[in-house]
Structure 1
Amino acid sequence: MKSNSRHHRDRKSKSHIPFRLNLLFFGAFACFALLILRLAYLQIVSGEEYEAEVQRTETTLATGSVPRGEIYDASHRKLVGNEAIQTITYTRGSGVSSEDMAHIALNLANYIEMPNVTQLESKKDYDIKTRDLKDFWLVLNQDKVTDQRMSEEEKKLTGGEFYQAQIAKVTDEDVADFSKEEKEAAAIFSKMNGAYALTTINIKNDNVTDAEIAKVSENLSSLPGVDTGTDWVRSYPQGSMLSSILGSVTTEKEGIPASQAAAFLANGYARNDRVGKSQIEKQYETVLAGSKSKSETETNSNGDVINTIEKYAGDKGDNLVLTIDMDFQRTVEEIAREALKDRQGLNRGIYIVATNPKTGAVLAMTGQEYNPKTGKVEDATLATATKAFEMGSTVKGATVLSAYMDGALTLDNNVIVDEPLKFLGTPEINSVFNRVPGNRIPLTDITALERSSNVYMSKLALRMGGKYNYTRNEAVKVDADPVLTRLRQYFAQFGLGASTGIDLPSESTGLPGVDPNKFMYFAFGQYDTYTTMQLAQYVSTIANNGKRMGLHLVDEIWSTGKDGELGKVESQIEPTLLNTVNVDQKYIDRVQKGFYQVVNGSQGTGHKRLGGTSYVSAGKTGTAQSSYYGSQGDPNNGTQTINKTYVGYAPYDDPEIAIAVAVPYLPTNNSNYQSQIAAKKVLDAYFQVGAYANKADDLQNEHKDEEVEVAE
């Protein structure tokens, strides 16, 4: 019985094994069947869809830079040009990660050399800093840093805080053994990483060799987004001439200024676009920039750029023609440098502006400054519009006309006695030609200008305050505040203390003093400060019969011709009348006659150095007491100095040129007349007389081969 029972159990157990195997086989068959059905579905039903996804590309519109417009002098000679150069570029795809770019950079570093150290300020984009090396190392070692070096709390950080925590974990030792190729790759990556999606940047545009172009071109298939092309850099055929007012252009790394980003972006600029950074380049950015090129950029499903087709080549920017003639400008610069050879005391500079009084066109402008650290004279032309000084007696023409406008002076009551003025508790005011107390010299407005009477101007200011009589050592009983306010308002009509309208991004309007009791000193140019540019506009306004014209440096805007040079005139900068001085012509005539007497009268303060020329000029000399607070003087109390100035115009009866010259911070005992001497030379050069009869031709031949190029 027992044997039969055991046999029955064995048979029953064996009968379950095939069933389980069958069930297992069936399950496996069912899974394979489902898998086959799924694969069949994917291949037959959805195959085309997935294949299309793999092959999917996206086409977007990308823009590229074009050469900027160029800048020419009044005779159409190039001052600022463009030089075409070879370049290696990179267009960042929309889905490209930092790690992708790092590997592209490593690959590209095999074919090009990136300079590690540069000397030119404009090429600092290529500097490889330790931070650049650490950024590059981190991108290639993200997991290592996160897993092995960061705390659990640090891992919870996000965004910029997380990255800063990561980069803090990268040590100097991590990058100490970088090879030359790795350093170059880091420099390449730094530039790539600064690019915005679908914008093209220059990886290298400095001294790119033909061999580098060839190697990169042969390997473009393994360098997504990399390409070769041409770029431009600014060149300066006339060297440093006018460099401080021509301005400069940002680099790609600098891009558009952060403070103006919203405005630039709204006008179609990319963040890394090169734009005018200063002066004329900045002022005329919209003219010089041109129209960007447009290309269709094709990217694959990974975001890599696989093809680029140019749809619009873009238009080079329009060109500027200045009001300044290069030959005359060069002569004026030479005159200024020559004057600095006789500098004395704390004098370090001379500033000259010449204009057409009828149009406001700037004919020449220069600032030349001696640098005691280098021992060289350097261009400081912009300082004619930004540095302000007490200009002394040159402003007396405005004082006389202010008194006429205010009713304090009339044609039948313009004789005033010049005598040393001494008021209670104040220093004595006198004129250079009359310093003896009790000595009384009657003067008209014309002779007061001719002889440069400080007392006449002071008494005009007193009259404007209602005081017509003077007793020595009495107290000044004048409400000074309204007198000074009105004087400044009148002066502003001539451009003194006001914007000249010069087409530069900014200019100084001078510094007004804060003590109204100095109103008499204001009347003879010993208080408020003005720029040489303002002084030029002031004398131009007198020469132009009271019409104040806005000053301008650009005369015309030209298109670009087929040969890349000037095409045709697009627009002419029309003269701008800012205001007309609110005074009758008969009073302006009086000041003009006074200025004539300064140069041509026997007692004129400018007669010896400016009279007797074949052209007839008029003008006004000036000397102002000033204080120098620079490092070479007394920084606390100031060192007492004087400023020598001059304004003038010619020909007297039909002015073509007005001029202002300022030579500041001379010794108080100085007998230097460089402001007058320089002015005489500038006028001689303009009319090409005397020593300057053939000077323009000589200078042109001397400098015809001079050229300086500066990469942006």
Structure 2
Amino acid sequence: MSAPTTARSTRSRLRLVVVQVLAFSLFATLFVRLYYLQVIGGDAYQAQAANQSVRDIVVQPQRGLILDSQGRPLVANRTSWVISVDRTLLGKLDEGSRTELVRRVAVVVGEKPADVEASLVTCGDPGSVKDVCWNGSPYQPVPVASDVSKDVALRVLEQPEDYPGVVAAQQSVRSYPRPFGINLAHVLGYLSPVTEDEYDLAVDKDDESLNGASVVGRAGVEKQYDEWLRGLPGYRRVAVDSMGRVLGDDSTVESTPGDTLVTSIDAKVQAVVEKQLAERIATQRATVDPVTGRKFEADSGAAVVLDAKTGRVVAMASQPTYDPDVWTGGISEKELQRLYSEEAGTPLLSRATQGQFAPGSTWKPFMTAGALTNGYSMDTVLPCSSGFQVGNRVFKNHESAAEGNIGFARALEVSCNTFFYRIGYDFWQRFGSDPADINAKDPLVAIAKEFGFGSRTGIDLPGEAPGRIADRRWKQAYYESQKGYYCDLASLPQDDRTSDFVYTFAREFCLEGNLYRAGDAVNFSIGQGDTIVTPLQLARAYAALSNGGTLYAPTVAKAIVSPEGKVLRRIAPRKVAKVDVPQKYIDFIDSALQGVTSVGTMAWKMGGFPLDQVTVRSKTGSAEVYGKQSTGWVASYTKDYVVVMMISQAGTGSGSTGDGIRAIWEALYGVEGEAVRPARAATPGTLPPTKLPQFLKDGSIMPPAVGE
């Protein structure tokens, strides 16, 4: 063999050896890797594989019940169909198939495809829309429509080939049994889905009661006691295939139902109150206002019944109202706009706790207390003239009537304005004749604050309005906040768009809008001017007259009870203050207000009522509002209850609400004609119950006796 041939042979053998070494190395590496995966790291990878084959699905809890004081359900739960979309399956479809599936889902649930798409986007991802995006687990089907009809659910269930990855399932939603046909929307409140911010906050606090599919309370006791009512979600772990389809349950953690809320509301009394308020508004709308010559607007109203001894709310109604069922399953944009619309009367606004109105003559008993505790006596006599001149203005008595010289009791009975004008003017002259002195003493302002006006009552309902005491400090603050606007307006040439009144007012306000003049003081003395109160504030103050001077924080809730029927928390009446008025003066005012009912401005509505058996004290009021018709009030009480009703733009107090007030008292005590029949009273025994409803061992509630 020649030398060149030998060299070529040697190189060939060398290449073969190299190839063999490389092949052996690859096999060795593969073997080592397989050994690592199967032996050393096998447990870890097996766990990961198992996690990919199971998913956690949140099981929403049943929300707690809300009951009245007798155990009647005010809010319960019912089963509802929900349509959800499994985004894992959706993501495995091509773009055309995905678009078509979303379109089909949108059609079957009655939504727009764009809205369905928006609800499928995870909050925080590009394109997510706040309050629409999905907050929950990426492995859980995303709800796209709630409270759909059974026909829609069956269509999805029976045609799975047309709706791959679309789930129809049942869940619990709110229902409203409406005992005796009551509405009670503003007290109960409503629910809506948890927002992105709320969910993030719950995650930060490790709050397991909220998840991306939760609903939370937005108003009323649903919001105030949301943490008790919402319960704890459970979790269902399910096995899935490679396409994300559920193969079966792996394990389950049961959800915990929410706790039951027992309220002080009496559904039977509430029904009477709602009916009377609605009827009085309807009647006034059909009645011609003798002052304006047109029918009363009667645009809104409220009524409150309190337990005078505890401050508990027995009934509370507001008009206009709304159907709480409109929130179940999601509210339409059109309906939401209507609820906030001024044209519809802003139905979401609770006039009882959030409406603020001039109190008119219902203010006078408290002004009497202020006068008696600051130098006047129960024997004081003052002129009740047809008018009272302050500067160049004559402040007139109601209908310019005159009564001669009278005392406090008669002044309350006939609601004499000029009697109280004189008291307000006297205090202004003695303590605050310098209109720029914001620190001047004012006994009438002080007594109003003593009875809780100008600040929230502390009721266990969210969004309560504080009212307003239009004293010197308020006037100065208001002037400073509005001075720029009115001074600018006054500096402009007057045009056709600005009336003489507005231009004159702007000029005067710019120069001296901060001054507290005698006219402000006399207006304050009869509940006119810029002072405003809520019906609840007025009811709470009259309760203090009834119970001897104690101011309570009104309460709706009485107790929290577990799903098993165990009382977790009793919510006791909460005393806020004791008014600094001697009992002899409270008794004097009490006696005078009995006269209002029997011989005064309320007497024409109480003829034949058995006042010798049910002693009702009352005060009527008509508050004038610039550019509007008068607001009518009646505030009344016994030693057991307080009943207040008001209607905006409805005329005089007794004329607009008197019949309703009487009907409520008849229901509370079982009055029929001139007879009192306690067995016919709306509340058994005529008094609010002190005990809770009876709960059985399984958590169910013993219903009230037949007819109760």
TM-score, normalised via structure 2 length: 0.72
Q: Any stretches of 5+ residues in structure 1 without a counterpart?
A: 1-7, 120-125, 140-158, 168-186, 469-474, 562-566, 628-638, 698-712
Instruction: Indicate whether 1:657 and 2:657 are aligned.
Output: no
| Rg larger in structure | 1
1:386 partner SS: coil
Matches within 5 A, 1:470-481: 481=438
Change (3 A) 1:191 1:506: closer
Match of 2:189 among 247, 253, 258: 247
1:516 partner SS: coil
Match of 2:301 among 350, 356, 368: 350
Corresponding residue number in structure 2 for 1:66: 61
Counterpart residue type for residue 613 of structure 1? F
Cα separation, 2, equivalents of 1:70 and 1:621: 39
Change (3 A) 1:191 1:376: closer
1:403 partner SS: helix
Cα separation, 2, equivalents of 1:334 and 1:377: 19
Corresponding residue number in structure 1 for 2:668: 686
Corresponding residue number in structure 2 for 1:396: 364
Corresponding residue number in structure 2 for 1:617: 616
Cα separation, 2, equivalents of 1:191 and 1:219: 26
Corresponding residue number in structure 2 for 1:80: 75
Note the alpha carbon deviations across 1:304-362, whole angstroms, 9 max, x for none: 99986556413211111221221221122111121122223332122111111111111
Note the alpha carbon deviations across 1:489-547, whole angstroms, 9 max, x for none: 32123232221221111211223432632121111111201111111112111111111
1:446 partner SS: helix
- The 8 Å contact of residues 102 and 116 in structure 2, kept in 1 or not, is answered as no
Cα separation, 2, equivalents of 1:47 and 1:308: 28
Cα separation, 1, equivalents of 2:566 and 2:16: 89
- The 8 Å contact of residues 378 and 408 in structure 2, kept in 1 or not, is answered as no
Counterpart residue type for residue 547 of structure 1? T
Cα separation, 2, equivalents of 1:403 and 1:510: 22
| Deviation, structure 1 residue 411 | 3.8
Cα separation, 2, equivalents of 1:260 and 1:537: 36
Counterpart residue type for residue 583 of structure 1? V
| Deviation, structure 1 residue 400 | 0.9
Change (3 A) 1:423 1:433: closer
Instruction: Indicate whether 1:232 and 2:216 are aligned.
Output: no
Change (3 A) 1:548 1:101: farther
Instruction: Indicate whether 1:488 and 2:445 are aligned.
Output: yes
- The 8 Å contact of residues 451 and 541 in structure 2, kept in 1 or not, is answered as yes
Matches within 5 A, 1:114-129: 114-116=105-107, 127-129=112-114
| Deviation, structure 1 residue 390 | 0.8
2:105 partner SS: coil
Match of 1:520 among 503, 519, 522: 522
Cα separation, 2, equivalents of 1:114 and 1:194: 20
| Deviation, structure 1 residue 434 | 5.5
Cα separation, 1, equivalents of 2:40 and 2:646: 79
| Deviation, structure 1 residue 242 | 0.9
1:648 partner SS: strand
For structure 1, which segment, 611-620 or 589-598, has the greater mean C-alpha deviation from structure 2 after superposition?
611-620
Note the alpha carbon deviations across 1:104-125, whole angstroms, 9 max, x for none: 9979997996344767xxxxxx
Change (3 A) 1:377 1:266: closer
2:621 partner SS: strand
Corresponding residue number in structure 2 for 1:40: 31
Change (3 A) 1:255 1:426: farther
Match of 1:329 among 243, 254, 270: 270
Note the alpha carbon deviations across 1:614-669, whole angstroms, 9 max, x for none: 22211101111112xxxxxxxxxxx242111110112xxxx1211111121246xx
Cα separation, 1, equivalents of 2:138 and 2:263: 39
Cα separation, 1, equivalents of 2:223 and 2:274: 24
Change (3 A) 1:496 1:264: farther
Cα separation, 1, equivalents of 2:221 and 2:261: 9
For structure 1, which segment, 38-47 or 569-578, has the greater mean C-alpha deviation from structure 2 after superposition?
38-47
Counterpart residue type for residue 341 of structure 1? A
- The 8 Å contact of residues 465 and 479 in structure 1, kept in 2 or not, is answered as no
Corresponding residue number in structure 2 for 1:648: 636
Change (3 A) 1:23 1:67: same
1:129 partner SS: helix
Counterpart residue type for residue 315 of structure 2? A
- Identical pairs, percent: 20
Note the alpha carbon deviations across 1:118-164, whole angstroms, 9 max, x for none: 67xxxxxx64317938998xx9xxxxxxxxxxxxxxxxxxx97xx57
Cα separation, 2, equivalents of 1:357 and 1:686: 13
Change (3 A) 1:192 1:482: closer
| Deviation, structure 1 residue 696 | 6.5
Cα separation, 1, equivalents of 2:141 and 2:38: 36
Corresponding residue number in structure 2 for 1:675: 657
Corresponding residue number in structure 1 for 2:488: none
Corresponding residue number in structure 1 for 2:215: 274
Cα separation, 1, equivalents of 2:527 and 2:358: 6
- The 8 Å contact of residues 480 and 519 in structure 1, kept in 2 or not, is answered as no
Corresponding residue number in structure 2 for 1:146: none
Instruction: Indicate whether 1:545 and 2:529 are aligned.
Output: no
| Deviation, structure 1 residue 281 | 0.6
Corresponding residue number in structure 2 for 1:154: none
Counterpart residue type for residue 560 of structure 1? P
1:590 partner SS: helix
| Deviation, structure 1 residue 458 | 2.1
Instruction: Indicate whether 1:507 and 2:454 are aligned.
Output: no
Change (3 A) 1:219 1:21: farther
| Deviation, structure 1 residue 409 | 1.8
Corresponding residue number in structure 2 for 1:701: none
- The 8 Å contact of residues 454 and 533 in structure 2, kept in 1 or not, is answered as yes
Cα separation, 2, equivalents of 1:109 and 1:553: 51
Cα separation, 2, equivalents of 1:508 and 1:616: 32
Corresponding residue number in structure 2 for 1:445: 408
| Deviation, structure 1 residue 443 | 1.9
- The 8 Å contact of residues 80 and 237 in structure 1, kept in 2 or not, is answered as yes
Corresponding residue number in structure 2 for 1:498: 455
Counterpart residue type for residue 171 of structure 2? D
Note the alpha carbon deviations across 1:230-267, whole angstroms, 9 max, x for none: 42111112177112321111226x46647966786557
Q: Any stretches of 5+ residues in structure 2 without a counterpart?
A: 286-294, 323-337, 476-514, 684-708
Change (3 A) 1:309 1:91: farther
Counterpart residue type for residue 502 of structure 1? I
Change (3 A) 1:310 1:408: farther
- The 8 Å contact of residues 418 and 441 in structure 1, kept in 2 or not, is answered as yes
Change (3 A) 1:536 1:39: same
- The 8 Å contact of residues 449 and 594 in structure 1, kept in 2 or not, is answered as yes
Cα separation, 1, equivalents of 2:200 and 2:23: 65
Change (3 A) 1:191 1:279: closer
Note the alpha carbon deviations across 1:662-703, whole angstroms, 9 max, x for none: 121246xx7980222221121122223237987969xxxxxx
Cα separation, 1, equivalents of 2:381 and 2:200: 57
Corresponding residue number in structure 2 for 1:572: 570
- The 8 Å contact of residues 605 and 654 in structure 2, kept in 1 or not, is answered as no
2:352 partner SS: helix
Cα separation, 2, equivalents of 1:286 and 1:370: 26
TM-score, normalised via structure 1 length: 0.71
Instruction: Indicate whether 1:457 and 2:420 are aligned.
Output: yes
Matches within 5 A, 1:358-377: 358-369=309-320
Note the alpha carbon deviations across 1:373-405, whole angstroms, 9 max, x for none: 999999668221111111100110111112233
For structure 1, which segment, 307-316 or 241-250, has the greater mean C-alpha deviation from structure 2 after superposition?
307-316
Matches within 5 A, 1:404-423: 404-405=372-373, 407-411=374-378, 414-420=380-386, 422-423=388-389
- The 8 Å contact of residues 353 and 365 in structure 1, kept in 2 or not, is answered as yes
- The 8 Å contact of residues 620 and 654 in structure 2, kept in 1 or not, is answered as no
Cα separation, 2, equivalents of 1:134 and 1:502: 37
2:567 partner SS: strand
| Deviation, structure 1 residue 282 | 0.6
